[in-house]
Amino acid sequence: MRQMVFILLIVLLAFAVACGTAKGRYDGDDINGDDDAPSGDDDASDDDDVQPEIANFTWVDADGNEVKLYDLIGNVVLLTAGAFWCQPCKEEAPSLQDDIWEKFKDDDFVLISLIVQDAAYNDATQQTAADWRDDFGLGFTVCADPDWSLQPYFEKDVIPFNLLLDRDFQIEFSTHEYNKDVMTFLIEDLL
């Protein structure tokens, strides 16, 4: 009897893997226009590869100016989330300046660093953003983000976090592990 139950479980597991997940088979779009549906007359693109647009956030930058994300549509945008207590965030900041911002600042590219907390784990303020910008000599926009705006987009609940948006604000890439070569390649491809 145990052997029969074991075999049944293996068969069910194989069936589940062969059929794919529910998301992989139907992504919620109209079934007539869904390229995952078995109609056979859709194009070869895959709806599952397209991420939803990012929400329209508003932040306050280090100089007290309001920064509205949707005002930047038409540019390639890299958003980063970090905090003063986060050592990897501190290590990433100079590389973002030297390797990414300096290379692409004259193109249709925007880099915004969102600082969520100060060194004592207090919510970031305009002064926190100004201190981050000044401590690292950053030429790109730094904003206070006490609401952790990007958290719904995090792969896991850790920082640093980087989110790359194309000109239409589709999410092209997200990562907690910054790699300047990968990020450079992706930005160049989008520009």
Domains of the chain are 2-49 (no CATH), 58-190 (3.40.30.10)
Give the per-residue pLDDT at 19. 35
Which pLDDT belongs to residue 183? 93
User: For residue 50, how many C-alpha atoms fall within 13 Å in the half-sphere facing its CB?
Assistant: 13
What is the pLDDT at residue 190? 94
pLDDT of residue 53: 76
Mean pLDDT by 10 residues, the chain (191 residues): 45 35 32 36 42 80 96 94 95 95 95 96 96 97 95 86 92 90 94 93
Q: What angle do CA 99, 104, 105 make, to 5 degrees?
A: 110
Taking the alpha carbons at both ends of the chain, their separation in whole angstroms is 62
pLDDT of residue 2: 52
CA distances from 105 to 55, 71, 98, 110 (A): 24, 17, 11, 7
Tokens of 186: 């992706």
Q: Within its chain, how far is the Cα of 138 from the centroid? A: 21
